[in-house]
């Protein structure tokens, strides 16, 4: 089997059909399978999958859970059932928008044996009616953004550090550890190599980044310039529907777990990601008026090299001022401004 597509799904009745159709629409010159881990949904997701499986029995292989396993365990079980030399990921609420996606990525990995991962850009679809100002990645844009694009040059209105624009080309594990630039719905792995997953993997909500890291190893990662997939943000999303604090906590726990698993060799590579996470935590605590929490995460940010983060000096200065004198500095600032305008 040349390729496996691993799809996990739970309560995606309104989305799963489009996800499956986008896989079946792929134009390829090789055999592939679609392995779907259906995690005991309470809506009509399973019925939709079985209807597709009845019509495409040689292509679609459902794994119908008898009880809800939760995202990480369902993910691991689905991966274990995949038989392909290469592996592509697509969750049941996303979909592919390019019919040549799989062929292009397989061709690249076949021609470049020292590359372990090939990914592309994805289009962000905000279907949750979430104010774009609160999103890490702005709706209607592509992720990762291209250097020089309007979305990459605009000021990040949320007060959080923007995601770094990425040029198409070759990256390494060090780049990935500093910032996850791989949209999961676009990734393809070289899968016929031993993958040793940490025991803590099954407890991590952000299992995709852990898998990116494990597969990447010492080999290369290629980012193609194509935009091949749509990433949905919606109320039922396992990740996008969570509040920002919860997302930050899971992200930081995942980075810490990976750092422990890989040992001290990549400690310096993890520091920017941890610093950015702690800076985000500090900014969120500042917005909630939690001064002590702001100070705690501010110190953790600095300990991990926060002063070296790009575009962080203004945020760090504002946090330091808030920690030292509280919100009153805004009053002084306004008074000074009004006095100067007279």
pLDDT digits (tens, 9 = 90+) for 272-317: 878 888 888 898 888 888 999 999 999 999 998 999 888 888 899 9
**Residue 266 and residue 20: Cα distance in Å, rounded?**
38
CATH class, range 3-233:
alpha beta
**Confidence band of 82 (pLDDT split at 50, 70, 90):** very high
Q: What is the pLDDT of residue 336?
A: 42
Per-residue pLDDT at 156 exceeds 70 = no
Task: List 109's β-bridge partners, or say none.
Answer: none
What percent of the chain has pLDDT above 90? Answer: 51
Picking from 7, 45, 47, 44, the residue whose alpha carbon sits closest to that of residue 24 is 7
Q: Where are the domains of the chain?
A: 3-233, 266-331
Q: Which of 23-37, 134-148, 150-164, 231-245 has the lowest mean pLDDT?
A: 150-164
Picking from 150, 218, 152, the residue whose alpha carbon sits closest to that of residue 181 is 152
| Mean pLDDT rounded to a whole number for the chain | 83
Task: Name the packing angle between helices 328-341 and 313-325 (round to 10°).
Answer: 110
* Half-sphere exposure at residue 142, Cβ-oriented, CA atoms within 13 angstroms: 21
Q: Which of 76-80, 137-141, 188-192 has the lowest mean pLDDT?
A: 137-141
* pTM of structure: 0.80
User: Tens of pLDDT along 95-144?
Assistant: 999 999 999 999 999 999 999 999 999 998 877 555 444 444 555 689 89
**Residue 263 and residue 257: Cα distance in Å, rounded?**
10
All residues at 6 or more sequence positions from 198 whose CB lies less than 8 Å from its CB, including other chains: 210, 214, 257, 258, 261
* Opening angle at CA 201, ends 278 and 77, nearest 5: 140
* Opening angle at CA 71, ends 69 and 74, nearest 5: 55
All residues at 6 or more sequence positions from 8 whose CB lies less than 8 Å from its CB, including other chains: 36, 37, 39, 71, 74, 75, 78, 91, 92
User: Tens of pLDDT along 198-229?
Assistant: 666 666 655 688 889 889 988 999 999 999 99
Taking a C-beta distance cutoff of 8 angstroms, is the pair 95, 25 a contact? no
**Where would I find the H helices in 56-204?**
71-80, 101-111, 150-153, 173-178
């Amino acid at each position: 089997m040349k390729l496996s597509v691993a799809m996990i799904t739970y309560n995606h009745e309104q989305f799963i059909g489009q996800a499956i159709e986008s896989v079946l629409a792929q134009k390829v010159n090789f055999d592939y399978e679609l392995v779907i881990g259906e995690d005991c949904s309470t809506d009509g997701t399973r019925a939709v999958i079985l209807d597709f499986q009845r019509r495409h029995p040689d292509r679609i292989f459902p794994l119908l859970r008898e009880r809800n396993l939760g995202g990480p365990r369902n993910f691991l079980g689905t991966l274990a059932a995949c038989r392909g030399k290469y592996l592509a990921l697509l969750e049941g609420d996303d979909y592919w928008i390019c019919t040549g996606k799989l062929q292009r990525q397989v061709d690249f990995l076949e021609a470049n044996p020292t590359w372990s991962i090939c990914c592309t850009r994805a289009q962000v679809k905000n279907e949750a009616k979430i104010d774009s100002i609160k999103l890490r990645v702005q709706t209607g844009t592509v992720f990762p953004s291209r250097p020089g694009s309007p979305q990459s040059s605009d000021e990040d209105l949320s007060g959080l550090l923007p995601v770094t624009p990425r040029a198409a080309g070759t990256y390494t594990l060090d780049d990935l550890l500093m910032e996850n630039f791989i949209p999961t719905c676009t990734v393809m792995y070289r899968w016929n190599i031993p993958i040793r997953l940490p025991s803590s993997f099954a407890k991590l909500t952000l299992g995709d980044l852990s898998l990116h890291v494990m597969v990447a190893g010492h080999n290369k990662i290629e980012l193609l310039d194509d935009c091949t997939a749509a990433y949905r943000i919606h109320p039922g999303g396992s990740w996008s529907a969570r509040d920002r604090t919860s997302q930050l906590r899971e992200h930081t726990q995942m980075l810490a777990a990976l750092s422990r698993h890989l040992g001290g060799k990549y400690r310096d590579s993890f520091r920017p990601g941890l610093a950015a996470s702690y800076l985000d935590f500090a900014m969120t605590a500042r917005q909630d008026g939690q001064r002590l929490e702001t100070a705690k995460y501010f110190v953790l940010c600095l300990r991990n090299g926060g002063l070296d983060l790009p575009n962080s000096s203004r945020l760090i200065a504002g946090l330091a001022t808030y920690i030292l004198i509280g919100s009153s500095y805004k009053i002084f600032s306004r008074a000074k401004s009004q006095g100067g305008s007279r």
